[in-house]
């Protein structure tokens, strides 16, 4: 037991001594599956982009920097958005205002769905019928019913289906998961999620007629609001670390500050109950940026804090009660461990991140798109596919229902 305790502290100490945990933590992917019409290692993957607004253009920029993948078709119903998208796509790319027409192009290998949430299911269904590889931005679907229907459509589907939870492709979360799953972290009991901003969350509209198309996130007819667009990323990570979905959810939301005609909440606060009594609290604000993007994992012996700013940072805080077990850490010549123990006793955390991590969009989103292309080439199922995306979609749909109704919503009543 003494060896195990020293091992926990010693492993954490490696981070403070300069070990590059980001570089050393592998990202694991699902096992291969059988697929027809494989694309060779030297073939260029031909991609069609549905939705060339803000997010679509972010993806276009990343594809433009990628070897072996070209966006050769773009679709958007807003003329100037389509024009902007085509300017960022491959030379000679075709433009469409109807995605169904674009799907008639047999030369397209894959489709990226970056349209408003309420369209995700119908577009994914059309892409499946057209036998395309699919990268569907989060949230995967708008409703629980669509989750179930999409699952049936994907049974036996031999193309890649990936959901756009790019944070899962940051190896730092693998390290966090390994520590939480280890023997020394202690029983995990609580998770806190924050994604706070100080601004109205709106996008500029050059002509009022495009208000609902450009600011679709503000309207319940099209969007799941803050829970779908922001917090669902963190729910996806939590579901993966816990290897399960919640059992129930309750919460509050409101339109309490931005009196501008929006219908989705400008602040949300939800609590998810997982098996074994684990609670996850989720907060997203648009009137205060304190905390920003953070996740905190509370175990019996330690806490892990993940912060995303210009770079990712993660810190391990060992509980004082657990540190008391290290009073004799200097025995046995464990010098590095004893040094870390002294720092921790002074309240100093252990850094788990590599300071050279690049910015959020250039790191995990680029990796997510690269892995989508790799899975197409190497006949592998994506890391974040239907199973992962479905849990998150149900989380979002039921959390919004709980906040709108003011009730505790149970998973078993819907799934």
pLDDT digits (tens, 9 = 90+) for 381-393: 999 999 999 999 9
Q: Which of 84, 58, 120, 146 is nearest to 363 (CA)?
A: 58
Residues 48 and 183 sit within 8 Å (Cβ to Cβ): no
Confidence at 413, pLDDT banded by 50, 70, 90: very high
Mean pLDDT of the 258-287 span: 98
Helix, strand or coil for residue 6? helix
Token pair 């609902």: residue: 212
pLDDT above 80 (res 360): no
**DSSP category for residue 247:** S
CATH of 45-166, one of 3.30.1330.10, 3.40.50.720, 1.10.150.20, 2.60.40.1180: 3.40.50.720
What one-character DSSP code corresponds to residue 295? E
Residue 32's pLDDT band, with cuts at 50, 70 and 90, is very low
Please tell me the least confidently modeled range out of 32-36, 134-138, 324-328, 396-400: 32-36
Cis peptide leading into residue 139 (ω within 30°): yes
The strand pairing partners of 299, in sequence order, are: 188
Mean pLDDT score of the chain, rounded to an integer?
A: 87
Model confidence at 86: pLDDT above 70: yes
**How far is Cα 107 from Cα 78, in angstroms, rounded to an integer?**
25
Instruction: Give tens-digit pLDDT for 53-76.
Output: 999 999 999 999 999 999 999 999
Q: Which residues contact 128 (CB under 8 A, 6 or more apart)?
A: 134, 153, 154, 157, 159
Q: In what order do the strands lie in the sheet with 302-308?
A: 350-351, 312-318, 302-308, 293-299, 188-195, 279-285, 267-273, 248-254, 409-410
What whole-number distance in Å separates Cα of residue 86 and Cα of residue 80?
A: 10
Domain coordinates in residue numbering, the chain: 2-27+168-358+386-413, 45-166
CATH 3.30.360.10 fits 2-27+168-358+386-413, yes or no: yes
The C-alpha atoms of residue 265 and residue 257 are separated, in whole angstroms, by 10
Average pLDDT of the segment spanning 339-364: 64
């Amino acid at each position: 037991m003494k060896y195990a305790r020293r091992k926990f502290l010693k492993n954490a100490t490696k981070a403070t001594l300069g070990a590059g945990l980001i570089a050393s933590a592998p990202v694991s992917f699902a096992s291969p599956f059988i697929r027809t019409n494989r694309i060779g290692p030297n073939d260029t993957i031909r991609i069609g982009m549905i939705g060339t607004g803000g997010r679509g253009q972010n993806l276009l920029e990343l594809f433009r920097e990628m070897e072996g993948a070209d966006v050769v078709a773009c679709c958007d119903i807003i003329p100037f958005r389509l024009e902007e998208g085509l300017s960022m796509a491959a030379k000679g790319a075709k433009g469409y205002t109807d995605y169904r027409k674009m799907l008639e192009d047999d030369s397209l290998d894959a489709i990226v769905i970056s349209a408003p949430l309420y369209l995700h299911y119908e577009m994914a269904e059309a892409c499946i019928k057209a036998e395309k590889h699919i990268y569907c931005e989060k949230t995967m679907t708008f409703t629980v019913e669509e989750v179930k229907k999409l699952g049936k459509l994907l049974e036996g589907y031999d193309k890649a289906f990936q959901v756009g939870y790019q944070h899962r492709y940051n190896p730092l979360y693998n390290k966090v998961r390994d520590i939480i799953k280890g023997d020394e972290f202690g029983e995990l009991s609580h998770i806190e999620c924050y994604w706070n901003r100080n601004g109205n969350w709106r996008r500029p509209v050059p002509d009022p007629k495009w208000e609902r198309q450009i600011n679709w996130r503000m309207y319940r007819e099209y969007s799941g609001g803050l829970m779908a667009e922001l917090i669902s990323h963190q729910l996806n990570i939590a579901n993966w670390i816990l290897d399960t979905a919640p059992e129930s959810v309750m919460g509050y939301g409101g339109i309490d500050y931005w009196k501008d005609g929006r219908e989705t909440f400008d602040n949300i606060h939800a609590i998810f109950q997982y098996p074994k009594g684990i609670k996850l609290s989720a907060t997203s604000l648009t009137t205060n940026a304190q905390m920003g993007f953070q996740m905190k994992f509370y175990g019996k012996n330690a806490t892990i804090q993940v912060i995303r700013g210009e770079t990712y940072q993660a810190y391990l805080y060992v509980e004082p009660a657990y540190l008391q077990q290290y009073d004799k850490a200097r025995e046995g010549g464990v010098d590095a461990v004893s040094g870390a123990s002294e720092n921790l006793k002074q309240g100093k955390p252990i850094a788990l991140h590599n300071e050279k991590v690049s910015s959020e969009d250039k790191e995990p989103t680029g990796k997510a798109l690269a892995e989508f292309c790799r899975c197409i080439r190497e006949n592998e199922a994506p890391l974040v596919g239907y199973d992962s995306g479905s849990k998150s979609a149900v989380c979002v749909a039921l959390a919004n229902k709980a906040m709108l109704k003011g009730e505790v919503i149970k998973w078993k009543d819907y799934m």
